[in-house]
């Protein structure tokens, strides 16, 4: 059970209810039915449950998520590789659960996703393409070490994605590092009956 348990819609304050309605609309449009973000009572779970305890942050959080999705230059498989690689650094159960399901809607194979979730870059027959390898390496470096990204990875990212795509990659790692910290701080579980 999360340290900030899901709040049933009937128990929300007026401010929380406004945030809930806005978040529901955005989640439906951005995530669809790829993973569970509400429980059987309609209460938000995952990172969205603790956000409702700070309702003034719901709007900025979702604006960031929506705008992040509009950034050019980073293909969906590379984006999901970066998100999953970041999740492995923080061992964030819910993040890995949710984005494993999102990643399956891209061109990534199940074996590649499993390898990334375990913190290992896929190799051999399951090796990633060049963009995937760069996304993995950059996400692992940024989420694991202190200090600036190496020039080598910067140049690889610029070559693979251009300046815009590299900026998007860095933003994704940063936003999902924040999301993982939020999830781990509240000990957000994987939905009942689901695995990660």
What SS3 state is found at 38? strand
Whether residues 57 and 123 share a domain: the answer is: no
Whether residues 81 and 63 share a domain: the answer is: no
Whether residues 150 and 166 share a domain: the answer is: yes
Whether residues 52 and 100 share a domain: the answer is: no
Which residues lie closer than 8 Å to 185 by C-beta, 6 or more apart?
3, 50
pLDDT for 53 = 93
Give per-residue pLDDT as tens, 55-68: 999 999 999 999 99
Whether residues 87 and 124 share a domain: the answer is: yes
Query: Which residue, 41, 69, 97, sits at the end of a domain?
Result: 69
Domain annotation covers residue 180: yes
Whether residues 118 and 170 share a domain: the answer is: yes
Whether residues 133 and 146 share a domain: the answer is: yes
Q: From the DSSP assignment, how many helices (H) and strands (E) are in the chain?
A: 8, 0
Domain annotation covers residue 1: no
- Residue 10 in this model has a pLDDT that exceeds 80: yes
Tokens for 154?
A: 């910067």
Q: How many domains does the chain have?
A: 2
Domain that holds residue 55: 9-69
Cα–Cα distance between 122 and 125 in angstroms, integer?
8
Tokens for 48?
A: 């969205």
pLDDT for 155 = 98
Average pLDDT of 31-52?
95
Output the CA torsion 145→64→15→31 (10° steps): -100
Mean pLDDT of the chain: 96
Whether residues 102 and 46 share a domain: the answer is: no
Dihedral angle sign, alpha carbons of residues 70, 74, 78, 83: negative
Give per-residue pLDDT as tens, 154-194: 999 999 999 999 999 999 999 999 999 999 999 999 998 99
- Residue 2 in this model has a pLDDT that exceeds 90: no
Domain annotation covers residue 53: yes
CATH number, domain at 96? 1.20.1290
- Residue 74 in this model has a pLDDT that exceeds 90: yes
Give me the helices (H) in 58-150, please: 58-70, 76-90, 93-103, 110-117, 130-144
Domain annotation covers residue 3: no
Domain annotation covers residue 194: no
pLDDT for 187 = 96
Whether residues 64 and 112 share a domain: the answer is: no
Domain annotation covers residue 148: yes
Cα–Cα distance between 165 and 86 in angstroms, integer?
17
SS3 content of the chain, % helix, strand, coil (to 5): 65, 0, 35
Give per-residue pLDDT as tens, 101-160: 999 999 999 999 999 999 999 999 999 999 999 999 999 999 999 999 999 999 999 999
CB atoms < 10 A from the CB of 29, how many? Answer: 10
Whether residues 95 and 62 share a domain: the answer is: no
pLDDT for 1 = 76
């Amino acid at each position: 059970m999360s340290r900030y348990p899901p709040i049933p819609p009937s128990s929300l304050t007026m401010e929380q209810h406004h945030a809930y309605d806005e978040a529901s609309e955005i989640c439906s449009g951005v995530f669809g039915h790829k993973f569970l973000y509400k429980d059987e009572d309609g209460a938000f779970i995952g990172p969205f449950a603790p956000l409702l305890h700070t309702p003034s942050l719901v709007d900025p959080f979702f604006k960031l998520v929506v705008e992040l999705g509009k950034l050019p230059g980073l293909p969906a498989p590379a984006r999901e590789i970066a998100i999953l690689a970041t999740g492995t650094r923080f061992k964030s159960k819910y993040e890995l659960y949710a984005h494993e399901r999102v990643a399956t809607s891209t061109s990534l194979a199940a074996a590649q996703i499993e390898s990334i979730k375990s913190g290992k870059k896929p190799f051999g027959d399951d090796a990633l393409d060049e963009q995937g390898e760069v996304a993995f390496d950059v996400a692992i470096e940024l989420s694991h070490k202190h200090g600036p990204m190496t020039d080598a990875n910067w140049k690889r990212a610029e070559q693979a994605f251009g300046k815009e795509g590299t900026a998007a990659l860095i933003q994704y790692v940063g936003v999902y590092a924040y999301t993982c910290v939020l999830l781990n701080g509240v000990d957000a579980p994987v939905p009942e009956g689901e695995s990660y």
